[in-house]
Structure 1
Amino acid sequence: MSYSQFNKVLLIPFVLSIIYHLDNVGAKVGFHKNYVVSYGYDHVSLLDNGRKVQLSMDMASGSGFRSKKSYSSGFFEMKIKLPEQQSPGLVSTFYLTSNGLEGQDTENHDEIDFEFLGTDGPPFILQTNIFANDNGGREQRLKLWFDPTKDFHNYAILWNQAQIVLFVDNMPIRVYKNNNSFGVRYPSMPMLLEGSIWNGESWASGGRKIDWSKAPFQLQYEGFKINGCESENKECYSNTFWWNIGEYLDLTPHDKRVYKYVRKNYMYYDYCYDRGEFFNECHLK
């Protein structure tokens, strides 16, 4: 079955399910409602009356933003368009992290990552990673089935008491179950949302150096609405939030078919086959 055929058969029910719950997901929420610039202030531009933000990177600096509030569960998403020019060595991100919160240990922390590794053309590489009161090491990499530099695509994180699911254009591409009862760590600290562009030439893109003659590299985001439980709320796992109930506590049979298809056809690296220290959690998932 081709991707286009698979898309028509399996994705429509899933998309309808997600859209039903996302309150005005398509509405263009302004950047300043939920986010602030965190660094590289002169490398950040607001576009479309603040409904888009552009992060730039050159030899002087990268740039980034973060949410005004921290969260302890939710469904978080962002529409992203990657730099159009060749960009080996760059890393563009959208992620949740407990780093930056007062009193938080920056070495052992919680984090859920989308990291786009710069490239000079297809394949376009997306790396995901999960930190659970540690330093991560749970990398997975897949080759995107579209060109993320040509248009905006939707990237989302579901985080509740049962599972973490990462989505690309409403397709589940990664699942991390809460197996805390079996001694497996699970992200539970309050986390901020962040986006950034930075120099990763020491490891990203096979260690290739950034071609600064093509700078500035420009990364755009839109869709700044947040569906999340603010961390001061002590009931962030309660069923008063739609992402904590029903189909969001496990993958549906439909979701599992989509997930299996993505892993089989697009994933090319999984830490579970490479990192012995994670044998327990990989065996359980």
Structure 2
Amino acid sequence: MEGLLVVFSYSILFAFVSASSRNFPIIPFDEGYSPLFGDSNLVIHRDGESVHLSLDERTGSGFVSHDLYLHGYFSASIKLPADYTAGVVVAFYMSNGDMYQNNHDEIDFEFLGNIRGKNWRIQTNVYGNGSTNIGREERYGLWFDPTDDFHQYSISWTDSQIIFYVDNVPIREVTRTESMGGDFPSKAMTLYATIWDASDWATNGGKYRVNYKYAPYVAEFSDLVLHGCAVDPIEQVGKCENDEKNTGSGVTPAQRMKMENFRKKHMTYSYCYDRVRYKAPPSECVINSQEAERLRKFDPVTFGSGRHHGKRHRHTRGSHTEAASSSF
């Protein structure tokens, strides 16, 4: 089965887009994606390329790619809800949890809302082969207000490396190591985008909950990119070109410098330094004493019981059915 190339043109000029920015072909939303849940809380714009997802007292909402992908480059321009957003989570991620309930893979961008006057926080995470007992979370502030305008969030995934980008600036690089074993995502996944009520854990460990007085909470998505190796869901095989073509080039020296600067200025949490959760850092962690000292001033992130919370594919209130302002 030939890989389906799905991509939406970039309509917004970003401050950090470099000459290596990827340019892929375009098809309309309904040719690459389907509504996942939320009924009228999911609105496809007339241009066929932009989507609004909203959360209210009745339900959240989400959409999903038609195809499974084994490696590729996946991206969206997202504008987040403003004002009081405590307990609200907007997620842009890949998962095969519906197919592999006990040993699923996942690659996450999660945007965690906050009380008025506090900024949104961005979280990345990686699970492989059901390794949910080892959360590989990192959290960051941003150098812009993500509610003011659209910004591009991208995932590049190969058999040996995962790179998270914000406006074409790499913010995290996960390299497959022998010690990770099956903890590195290696099975075909579907792309999801959702907004849902995560009051139990998302803001200060559940201290601040969603306040529906400020609903509806609306997240806007555009410039959606699906570019990778589409896999037949029955045969679980795909006819793909090499990873480099599917994901573009890796991190350039200039991008690596930006990534290092971003992490020094904006990273507020890394699982590698969480002594509350892990007596010893997971085997793939490389401990940097200067980074550890800088992160020490931030309290360890609270994740409730420590288990994986999921993305609430079909979350409604009362129902848990699963389906930075500075530059650098």
Residue pairs, 1:1-285, within 5 angstroms: 15-19=18-22, 22-24=23-25, 29-101=27-99, 104=100, 106-119=101-114, 120-133=116-129, 134-135=131-132, 137-180=135-178, 183=181, 185-206=183-204, 207=206, 208-232=208-232, 233-234=237-238, 236=240, 238-239=241-242, 242-243=245-246, 247-248=249-250, 251-274=251-274, 275-276=278-279, 278-283=281-286
Residues 46/243 of structure 1: CA separation in 2 closer, same or farther (3 Å cut): closer
Residues 268/113 of structure 1: CA separation in 2 closer, same or farther (3 Å cut): same
Question: Which amino acid in the other structure matches residue 53 of structure 2?
Answer: L
Please give the per-residue CA displacement for 1:84-125, whole angstroms capped at 9, x wherever unaligned: 232110000100111223xx2x24311000000012244321
Number of equivalent positions: 263
3-state SS of paired residue (1:230): strand
Aligned-partner Cα distance in 1 for 2:243–2:257: 29
Tell me how far 1:240 sits from its aligned partner.
7.1
Aligned-partner Cα distance in 2 for 1:235–1:283: 36
Tell me how far 1:31 sits from its aligned partner.
1.8
Aligned-partner Cα distance in 2 for 1:260–1:240: 24
Tell me how far 1:252 sits from its aligned partner.
3.1
Q: TM-score when scaled to structure 2?
A: 0.74
Aligned-partner Cα distance in 1 for 2:192–2:243: 26
* 1:4 paired residue number: none
Question: Which amino acid in the other structure matches residue 210 of structure 1?
Answer: V
Aligned-partner Cα distance in 2 for 1:76–1:244: 8
Report percent identity of matched pairs. Answer: 36
Q: Is the 8 A contact 2:72 2:158 kept in 1?
A: yes
Unaligned runs of 5+ in 2: 1-13, 289-328
Q: TM-score when scaled to structure 1?
A: 0.85
Tell me how far 1:234 sits from its aligned partner.
4.0
Please give the per-residue CA displacement for 1:122-161, whole angstroms capped at 9, x wherever unaligned: 4321011111112151110000111111111100000012
Question: Which amino acid in the other structure matches residue 283 of structure 1?
Answer: V
Residues 30/277 of structure 1: CA separation in 2 closer, same or farther (3 Å cut): farther
Unaligned runs of 5+ in 1: 1-6
Question: Which deviates further from its counterpart, 221-230 or 263-272?
Answer: 221-230
Tell me how far 1:223 sits from its aligned partner.
1.4
Tell me how far 1:221 sits from its aligned partner.
0.5
RMSD value, Cα:
2.3
Tell me how far 1:241 sits from its aligned partner.
5.2
Aligned-partner Cα distance in 2 for 1:37–1:271: 33
